[in-house]
Structure 1
């Protein structure tokens, strides 16, 4: 009941301010103020204002939020402990991960360097006819160095 009275008083005050603004020929601002002024009355009539006041002013609601926060904190602690305890120390976890990778694909970790180098040795190097390409790259490299990249 008190919430409804308070909302009605706020709406009446806001509508008064909107009327004074409209009297000064500022109709857009007056319309905006009237729209804001009618919100508390609408909330009171729908019952949302009572729900909000119960939410804010009841201590049991705040205790409930506290219990939810403690529950979330416990979930985070358990998750952190599980992650730390699964593999032991960092060295053990790294060694286990390396062994797992080696067992899955032992040849995948070794890059094929020999074939590429042999192909380079068999093909003779070609000399560039002009130095236009190298000049462009030199200019680009100078610009990148200037900007610290």
Structure 2
């Protein structure tokens, strides 16, 4: 019974505050206050307050065990160690530091040799510049794209 009185009092206070905000022509703020004001009554009418109380009690018990029980601290330490090991192996794998053990042969044989520089990364041979034609261009692009064409030509595209 006390929960109902508190819930509806909070809802009434929130609706009153929303009305004041609307009176001052702050309609967006008034709508937000009205939405928040409806929550206590809605929670009471759906029966979620007892559920929230149960969740709160269980969370309190867990927090108390977390602080005072050494088994829980051991579990937290194991979870932390697991996370550190997973992150370390991921970091080492990206850096190439993890290698295969020398006493075990590779399953697919040795890796094929590759050139140090990929063929696409090699510099293209410079091509001679075409002579500029006098007058207008016949491709319809105009002279605005001459610089772009020159850059593309230097890159071999």
User: TM-score under structure 1 normalisation?
Assistant: 0.48
Q: Answer 1 or 2: which has greater helix percent.
A: 1
User: TM-score under structure 2 normalisation?
Assistant: 0.46
Whose RCO is larger (CA < 8 A, sep 6+)?
A: 1
